[in-house]
Amino acid sequence: MYEVDRIRDGRSFTTRRTVAVQHGRAIFALATSFQVPEQGLEHAEPMPEVPAPEQLDDLATWVRRTGATHLPIARIPLPFNLRYVTPPVWARCPDAGLLASGERVQPNQRDQLWMRVDGTLPDDALVHVCVLAYASDLTLLGSVTARHGRDLDQDVVAGSLDHAMWFHRPFRADDWVLYDCASPSAFGGRGLAIGRFFSQDGRLIATVVQEGLVRLRG
């Protein structure tokens, strides 16, 4: 059951608070803000220089080459086409991090990948917002463990504690978007991750911040 409170109804902005209740207990809380389109100042950080998605292997090809077929990301069907720019921790082996051309990509302290929905979505802008919000949680905490060479699936117990997202510009989730993720801090069993989504033509379309539980196993 979803309980929705009308927090604010203004001329330009509308705010809602939603609580999801299951078996009589609140399991999820969401605050959303909506704005009517208007003109204003405009600037944005530039997109990082990365290989185009057409130059990179898709996830299925990468999994086969790195022998990672036993990992959850290889077994769970995903509605997205994922193409990693920087090798994820589980793929950092001598044969990983290669472009389709054979050129080696050097790992760094950022997690970067291209993604898009498999198939075509309707033209409803809210559908694309919802899809990108879902996708934003797939790999973000991996940027915390990647800085320590830890595998998010095998080395740690992890989960989202809070998740905030800002949508800056119109986009389509069935076109390629670059997800650029980094972790500025981790301490006390928690890690902070910041992600930025860019359209393929270089526009900053969304920013994500997540704090998560990152607890070492054992």
Asked whether the beta carbons of 177 and 200 are under 8 A apart, the reply is yes
Helix ranges, the chain (H):
59-66, 72-75, 125-135, 142-146
pLDDT of residue 70: 65
Least confident of 2-16, 84-98, 132-146: 84-98
CB count in 10 Å sphere of residue 17: 14
Question: What is the homologous superfamily of the domain 51-216 according to CATH?
Answer: Hotdog Thioesterase (3.10.129.10)
pLDDT of residue 71: 65
Note the pLDDT tens digit of each residue in 62-106. 777 766 666 666 777 789 999 988 876 655 543 444 433 444 444
Chain centroid to CA 177: how far? 10
Asked whether the beta carbons of 141 and 191 are under 8 A apart, the reply is yes
Give the active site residues.
137, 160, 210
pTM of the predicted protein model: 0.87
**CA–CA distance, 161 with 191 (Å, rounded to integer):** 10
Token pair recorded at residue 94? 């001598």
Please determine, for residue 172, whether its predicted confidence score (pLDDT) is greater than 70: yes
Mean pLDDT value of segment 185-207 = 96
Please determine, for residue 207, whether its predicted confidence score (pLDDT) is greater than 70: yes
Which sequence spans correspond to the domains of the chain?
1-36, 51-216
